[in-house]
Structure formats: structure tokens, C-alpha cells
Structure 1
Amino acid sequence: MKILMVDVDGVLVHGRPSDGLPLFTYLERDLGLRLDLLQEAFFKTCWRDIVTGREALEPKLTEVLGTIAPHLSARTLIDYWFENDSRLDHALLDDLAELRAKGTQLFLATNQEHLRAAYLMDELGLSARFDGIFYSAALGHQKPAVEFFQLATERVGIAATEIGFIDDVEANIEAARQFGWKAIQWTSGTKLRDAIAAFSV
């Protein structure tokens, strides 16, 4: 395995920095917006186009909030969202750093829109820990679409069989395996050394 691709949410990042709770746990208390309204008006109707790069997050969110929460700006909600979804797994990051020091290249492989991808790399400092990021809005396809894996493979320029992958979503793992990546589903009890060992089985 020459390259390890690493998912973000559910693998590297786990909710609120203070307690690990889901990022919107206190959304209504903090910003006066009900989560069910946000889900119905935004995530269920707009998110697919945003996460695959067809629409931009801030203008679309501004439009939606104008209807469901006129008191709230898109920028305020985006800042709240990103800050409350930024609890890093430092033990895993340390293990990944050891693997990288031994010569394995590390890339993030994640479903993200452009602003949060930049936040992850720049504000959370992941650009210093990974050799790059492949994300859905930049590729135009989200996991588990085969195009996601195909484009990421083409861009690193090595055979699919030389790529390892950890992700918490079973459908993404299955799709990656079908494409030829060595893929292991990540759970809360998984250790990186065990996942790496399983790649060679």
C-alpha cells in the first residue's frame, strides 16, 4: 500500500469539540433555528447539488434562511456549523503521522463542499498532516459513486490496488473495494494498525 485515503466525518472528526455531541444538538437554543426546518428546507432539497459542486453553499443557504430564519445570516450559521463539527481524533492523527513518516502518502477522501474542505485543511491544520484532499465538490461526484474513486485514483497516478481506504460508511467501503481499493470500515473501536494489517489479508 503506497497511499492511504482517509474519510473525515465519522473517522477523523466527531462532532462538537467540547463534548463530541452532534454539531446541531443545540442549534435552536443557540441560534433560534429548529433543526427539522433546516433539514427539510435545506439539507433534503439543496445539499446534493452543493456537496457535488453544482451550487455554492453560502448563496443557497442565504436564500433558504431568508424564508425559514430571517434573523439569521448564512455566515453566522456556517461559522457555527464548522466550529461545532471539528473535534479531531488526535490519537488517530498521531498513528497516521507515524505511518506517513514511514513513507505512506496520506490523502483525505471525503464528501464536502468547498468552504468546509478549506476549513478542514487550513483552520483545522490538516494540510500539514496530509498530502492532499479529494472531496466531492471538487470532483463533481460524491462517495459511493464510482466516479469519485476513479478520479481520485487517476489524480494520484498509481494502481487502485496500491491504495488503502478507511471510512465509516459501509456503502463507501463496498464501492471502494469494487473499484480495487483496499478498504476497511472504520468503527469507534478500530485501531489503525489493525486496519493496515487487514489490507494485506
Structure 2
Amino acid sequence: MKYKNIVFDFGNVIGRFDGKAILSEFCPYEEELDDLSEIVYKRWAELDAGTLDYDSYINEVIDQVPEHLKDCIRRFAKEWPRCTTLLPDTITFIHKLKERNIPIYLLSNAPTYFAEYYEGSELLSHFDGILFSGPIRLAKPSPEIYSHFLRKFDLKAEECFFIDDLEPNINAAKEAGMGGLVFTGDINEVKKAIGF
């Protein structure tokens, strides 16, 4: 294999993150989903960066929506992390990497609430190191999060291969000295890139 360590993003690499589809699990009013999505996700990047308090954000959203949607938002706030459907090919690949004793890491933008929700989960128990953006108040593609990640786990950039669904995040990883690939859902493309 060309790399010693494989680093995964979470959203749309390990689990599918489709904001509107997730909201639809809690809001039965299909005709209102577009407007609701705009309100709910308007400041999501701030949650990922850890610069916006989660409870304050939820209260802000609740204040902005009509009365009949307020309970939908309350349920969404508590339960949305369970709606990130795991991608089977990636999960199988993770297990195969671990069978070969290849170190795997997680580097993902996510609110602190999501990080806490998955803390101690069976899925994340397979990882040798986990870094979510919210708790450390740094988010991709900021160069600082990559240097923080490498320092935290004592890794050499050139020995790491990063899989993320967003090109700016991969470009930033490459700037930091890591290998990387924009994930399109084809795990065979990843295997080819790392020589697995």
C-alpha cells in the first residue's frame, strides 16, 4: 500500500448527509421543506466550526418557524444524527483495513452535538484516532485543523491519505502534505488510489 494511514471524513463518506432528507424525517409538510432547510442550515457552518452554541442555535431556529413546525425542530435537534445512513461499501472497506491492521482515522466537520452523539459508538471504536471540528473550534478546509490533526495523533502528513467528499477539503489536505481523493461514492477508486 502507498500510505500507512487512511483518514476518513464522515459526511457522505461514511454516512450519507442529506440535509433536506434528514429534515423530512421530522417534518411531514413536504411543501415546506425547502424553506425550512434554508432556515435550519443557514448557520450550520458555524456549528461545524464550534463558534455557535447548539442550544442557542436550536432556539433561534424555533423562533423563526411557524408554530406547527416548532415540535418538528425540537425532535430534529435531538435525533438528527441517527439519520445519517451508513454507506455499506465504506463500512466494509473500514473492516477490511482493520483486518490488515492498517491504522484508520476520522477527520470530520461536525457540530459538537454530533461528536457527542457518536462518542463511544461501535462504529467509531474501529478508529485509531477521531477528530471532529466542533469541539476544537476549527473546521476544514482551514489549514489549522490539518496541522492540529497531524500533531494530535503524531502522524506524518506524507504517510496519510484523506478521503473527503468536498474538493476544497482535499485540496487543503494536499497543501498540508497528505495524499487525498474527492470521494464520489466509488470505493474501488479509493482502493486503486492507495494501492489496496
Structure 1: how far apart are the matches of 2:21 and 2:36?
15
Structure 2: how far apart are the matches of 1:95 and 1:53?
30
Any stretches of 5+ residues in structure 2 without a counterpart?
none
Q: 1:42 to 1:22 in 2, by over 3 A?
A: closer
Q: 1:66 to 1:155 in 2, by over 3 A?
A: same
With the length of structure 1 as denominator, give the TM-score of the two structures: 0.81
**Map of 1:133 onto structure 2:** 130
Q: Give the percent of matched residue pairs that are identical in Structure 1 and Structure 2.
A: 24
**Map of 1:178 onto structure 2:** 175
**Map of 1:97 onto structure 2:** 95
**Map of 1:78 onto structure 2:** 77
- 2:110 is the alignment partner of 1:108: no
**Map of 2:51 onto structure 1:** 54
Alignment of 1:1-201 (within 5 A): 1-15=3-17, 22-25=21-24, 28-29=27-28, 34-44=32-42, 46-71=43-68, 72-73=70-71, 74-85=73-84, 87-122=85-120, 125-191=122-188, 192-197=190-195
Q: 1:60 to 1:33 in 2, by over 3 A?
A: farther
How many residue pairs are counted as aligned between the two chains? 190
Structure 2: how far apart are the matches of 1:37 and 1:159?
44
CA contact (8 A) 2:162 2:181 kept: yes
Any stretches of 5+ residues in structure 1 without a counterpart?
none
Q: 1:26 to 1:98 in 2, by over 3 A?
A: closer
State the 1:139 CA deviation.
2.6
Structure 1: how far apart are the matches of 2:144 and 2:17?
28
In structure 2, give the amino acid aligned to 1:57.
Y
Query: 1:102-138: per-residue Cα shift (whole Å, max 9, x none)?
Result: 2221111111011112223445x32222123211112
In structure 2, give the amino acid aligned to 1:64.
V
In structure 2, give the amino acid aligned to 1:43.
Y
With the length of structure 2 as denominator, give the TM-score of the two structures: 0.83
RMSD between aligned alpha carbons? 2.6
Q: 1:195 to 1:117 in 2, by over 3 A?
A: farther
Structure 2: how far apart are the matches of 1:28 and 1:93?
29
CA contact (8 A) 1:33 1:69 kept: no
